[in-house]
Structure 1
Amino acid sequence: MATDVVDLILADHRRFEELFRALRDRGSDRSTLLGELAALLIAHAEAEESEVYPALKRYKEVDDDEVDHGAEEHAEGHQALLALMEISDTESEEWEGKLEELVEALNHHIDEEERTILNGAREQVAEERRAELGEKFLEIRQDRIDDDCGDLEYVRKVAHATADRID
């Protein structure tokens, strides 16, 4: 299994995109898909912020402001995720609207992170160090998933704890 942190983050990004497509399908089990998205999104963000982002800030060629901005965008994503999860009727127009707000926020973050942070990390961080970060990323991400981080109460806690990061 690949452990390059950049590849792992990119793989999660592609999974988010797959989940967005499935969530837009009215014939899918939206509640189950939303639970999967919530768990992966929260675990992914917490793993990035606890291990990956601090490590990348130590590299001169990786822009610290972009790393900090990535954390702000995680907070925005948490708010949008919570707003969607708090709507119980997955067939309602309100739910559809909140899904699109979440998709827009996450797609913006994914695009920026891939262009500004991950490209720099791939170019400036040694392969061995990226592998070490990948192992830590996977460990933390799995720990959060095992702790049921996609649960509504956990998402509420994270959204409230990170709300002060949003400009």
Structure 2
Amino acid sequence: MSTSIDLGRPISGDVIDLILEDHRRFEALLRDLRDSTADRDAVRQALAALHVAHAEAEEKHVYPTLRRKDAITEHEAEHGEEEHAEGHEAMLKVLELKGTDTQAFDDAVEELATALNHHLTEEELTILNPARDEVGEQVRAELGTAFATERNKQLDADCGAIDNVRRIVKAAEREGLLDEDSDD
């Protein structure tokens, strides 16, 4: 199910700016998801699509390039992937709930917000700051185009659909990116 909420469709730019624009979108969507007067179903669909598209584009293009440029360590790249997996898992819990006006929904949104806000802060400090210092403008622009292209491709493929998010979470479990006991 695609979304009617505008998630932006950049085609180029400095990868740092593009990632930060998405981070601000995440924060706005989380605010809307907490708002009981909002169309929470549409918001959760949009947030799922943005989260998957953003994470896939980072993992496919951004993290490997920053790693090759020695801007980040292998541990930082792996930690980013683990946090994406945790976000996908929390997103899946929000998507699987039938209603959006229950305490269970509010609790799932709180868990999702905690996971996403932690990741946004950490990524901005430990990945984007080193990228600013260690990677030149031309590489960041080339990376921005690759990031935007992959992000848009994912959005076009309805990447936030619940079945796809389930598949991503199962793959993350198999790869050991999620703690065994995180399903409490």
Place the TM-score, normalised by the shorter chain, in its bin: over 0.9
Q: Deviation of residue 80 (structure 1)?
A: 0.4
Cα RMSD (Å): 1.1
Q: Deviation of residue 162 (structure 1)?
A: 1.3
Q: Which runs of 4+ in 1 moved over 6 A?
A: none
Q: Deviation of residue 160 (structure 1)?
A: 1.0
CA distance in 2, matches of 1:67, 1:49: 8
Q: TM-score, normalised by structure 2?
A: 0.88
Q: Deviation of residue 65 (structure 1)?
A: 1.2
Q: How does 1:15-164 map to 2 (within 5 A)?
A: 15-163=25-173, 164=176
Deviation string 1:92-113 (CA, Å, 9 cap, x unpaired) is: 0001000000000000000000
CA contact (8 A) 2:57 2:147 kept: yes
> Counting helix residues as a fraction of each chain, which structure ranks higher?
1
Gaps of 5+ in 1: none
Q: Deviation of residue 12 (structure 1)?
A: 0.2
Gaps of 5+ in 2: 1-9, 180-184
Count of residue correspondences:
167
CA distance in 1, matches of 2:17, 2:100: 32
Q: TM-score, normalised by structure 1?
A: 0.97
CA distance in 2, matches of 1:31, 1:62: 37
Letter in 2 for 1:58: R
Give the SS at the match of 1:57: helix
Give the SS at the match of 1:165: coil
CA distance in 1, matches of 2:70, 2:63: 13
Q: Deviation of residue 161 (structure 1)?
A: 1.0
Q: Deviation of residue 77 (structure 1)?
A: 0.5
Q: Deviation of residue 67 (structure 1)?
A: 1.5
CA contact (8 A) 1:149 1:155 kept: yes
CA contact (8 A) 1:5 1:137 kept: yes
Q: Which moved more, 1:60-69 or 1:115-124?
A: 60-69
